[in-house]
Amino acid sequence: MTEQDGRSREAPRWFDDEAGPVVRPYAMTRGRTRTAAEGRLDLIAQVIAESRAERAADDRTLSPEHVEIVERCREAPLSVAELAAELDLPVGVVRVLIGDLLDADLVRVSRPVPPAELPDEQVLREVIDGLRAL
């Protein structure tokens, strides 16, 4: 198509020849940008598949991205950041998808102990010295 001024007017591209159909990230989350589990899903939170997640591929209510997250986490626990990198999706999208899986009881999230809550090195050394003295 051409306009009167001679410029070409092409329809927007919804298809990438190499990648296939292009889906906007917000389409995967149905426009949602937050989840109720937002506070539990920092970048280093570990996502672990529950035992009942074995049949996730058969669940018609889950998107392919949901199933992919469950499958990857069945092999080994993965952090939110690792999932985002492996799926090549924005972290915000992955958080919403994980939130859906948490609501469906297909995954659980384990957060590492913050360094501020770990025992002081000096205390640990004193405990070790005390045990050696026994």
**Does this model's pTM top 0.75?**
no
Q: Is the pLDDT of residue 25 over 60?
A: yes
> Residue 56: is its pLDDT beyond 60?
yes
Q: In the structure, what pLDDT confidence band is assigned to residue 10 with cuts at 50, 70 and 90?
A: low
Q: Rounded to whole angstroms, how far apart are CA atoms 28 and 65?
A: 8
Cβ atoms of 81 and 42 closer than 8 Å: no
101 has a pLDDT exceeding 50: yes
Region at 20 (left for phi over 0; alpha for psi -120 to 50; beta for the rest)? left
Question: Which residues lie below 8 Å from residue 33, measured CB to CB, with a gap of 6+?
Answer: 26, 92, 96
**pLDDT above 70 for 114:** no
Residue 58 confidence (pLDDT): 65
93: Cβ contacts below 8 Å, ≥ 6 apart: 25, 26, 28, 29, 84
Nearest residue to 65 via CA among 43, 87, 49: 87
